[in-house]
Amino acid sequence: MIRVQKKPFDPGAETNLFLDRNSNSGGVASFIGQVRDFQDDTDQKISVLELEHYPGMTEKELGRICSAARARWPLDDASVIHRYGPMKPGDAIVMVFTASAHRADAFAACEFIMDWLKTQAPFWKRERAGTDTSWVDAKTSDDDRASRWTSDD
């Protein structure tokens, strides 16, 4: 399931829904990304994070990433929930779930989906800190993490 939405979501409630749908899976892994309250480069306090995305392509790209994960690991299910629009520090911004018979595949697929989402899904962050608003630069460390999945196995 892929969901891209403006409104907040409750990670606990989403976890229960995913577990209900996958009660026969031996291992379920999840990742929750939350809005940080400080800027990486300046250490300034962030008041608002605004996330722009590419409606249409975002859903397709997240679907392609989940399909790639399912082709690579024996998954029973994979889900991504991602917010866009304005968010406050501490808000859940993204949640990834994977379900498999065994934990190793669930863990690996969950990390793979996040690493690819960071470098492929068309979202752009803009942070407001004090009176300044600035677009967040992409990190080469994210590219490095994503490329691990193609360079070694």
Partner 1 sequence: MSVTVLYFAWVKEKVGVGLESLSPPESVRTVSDLVDWLKLQSPSHAEAFSDLSQIRVAVDQVHGPFDAAIDDAKEIAFFPPVTGG
Least separation, in Å, of the C-beta of 89 and partner 1?
Answer: 16
Binding positions for partner 1, rule: CB under 8 A: 33, 51-54, 56-57, 60-61, 82, 93-94, 114, 117-126, 135-138
Least separation, in Å, of the C-beta of 125 and partner 1?
Answer: 5
Which CB atom, from 61 or from 76, has the smaller least distance to partner 1? 61
Which CB atom, from 102 or from 148, has the smaller least distance to partner 1? 148
Which CB atom, from 59 or from 101, has the smaller least distance to partner 1? 59
For 29, the token pair is: 């892994």
Least separation, in Å, of the C-beta of 14 and partner 1?
Answer: 16
Report in angstroms the alpha-carbon separations of 132 from 37, 75, 129: 15, 44, 5
Least separation, in Å, of the C-beta of 2 and partner 1?
Answer: 13
**First-to-last CA distance in the chain?**
26
Which CB atom, from 109 or from 118, has the smaller least distance to partner 1? 118
